[in-house]
Structure formats: structure tokens, C-alpha cells
Amino acid sequence: MGTLVVCSGGTALLSHKGSSLHRLSGLVFIVSMLMMGLIVAAGARLESGSISSLGIHANENHAPQGNVPPREAYFVFAALALIAMILDINQRPQDPVASQTKRTS
């Protein structure tokens, strides 16, 4: 599933914006990301005491010992992702039909 996400995301980034290949690979990317999220959520539900299969444990008694990043690191990365998403939403055109350029080919 992860390979599909990387390949479809890369194809969407490298293809011409607005082309059918760009739209199809973007759709595959979105669907596969949602599927991965559902798989991680289901795995967390099935494994008691953990939040995800990434090693983040809700119960400190079951936390793995060793080289584990501090809990704050997860919140920092989540905050950065939220800020990036908000900034990306603000870049969307107000009128998508008017913002499309006419192709003369």
C-alpha cells in the first residue's frame, strides 16, 4: 500500500496539472492514503494498549524501551502538518472555473 502511495503521489507531482494522468494518479493517491489510515486505525483497535502500529503506546508500562522519540515530537509534526494543510487551503482559487487557462493546441 505504501508503494502505491509513493508511486501515485510521484506521478501526480510529475504529470501536467489538469491532465487525465494527473487527476487519476491524484485520486489513486487520496484513496490509498485513506485506506492506509483505515488499516492503521483498525490495527490500533485490534492491538490493546497501542494508538497505532507505529510504536506509539497509550500505556507507559507497555512502551518499548530504547531509542523512542519524546511524545512532544509527535505533536510538533502534527502541528506542522496542520499548518501546511491550512496554508495549502488558502492557496486555492476562489473561482476555479475562472482560474483555468484556455489551451490553444
C-alpha to C-alpha distance for 34 and 52, rounded to whole angstroms = 15
Q: What is the pLDDT of residue 74?
A: 80
Cβ pair 3, 36 in contact under 8 A:
no
Instruction: Tell me the percentage of the chain whose pLDDT exceeds 70.
Output: 59
100 in any annotated domain: no
96 in any annotated domain: no
40 in any annotated domain: yes
Give the pLDDT confidence of 75-90 residue by residue, as tens digits: 888 888 888 888 877 7
Domain count, the chain: 1
C-alpha cell of residue 18: 489538469
Phi, psi of 102 (to 5 degrees): -80, 135
Higher-confidence position of 45 and 16? 16
Give the pLDDT confidence of 24-34 residue by residue, as tens digits: 999 999 999 88
Phi, psi of 17 (to 5 degrees): -65, 130
Q: Where in the sequence is the domain holding 4, given as residue range(s)? A: 1-53
Phi, psi of 31 (to 5 degrees): -65, -40
Q: What is the pLDDT of residue 53?
A: 47
Predicted TM-score (pTM) of this structure = 0.49
C-alpha cell of residue 101: 487557462
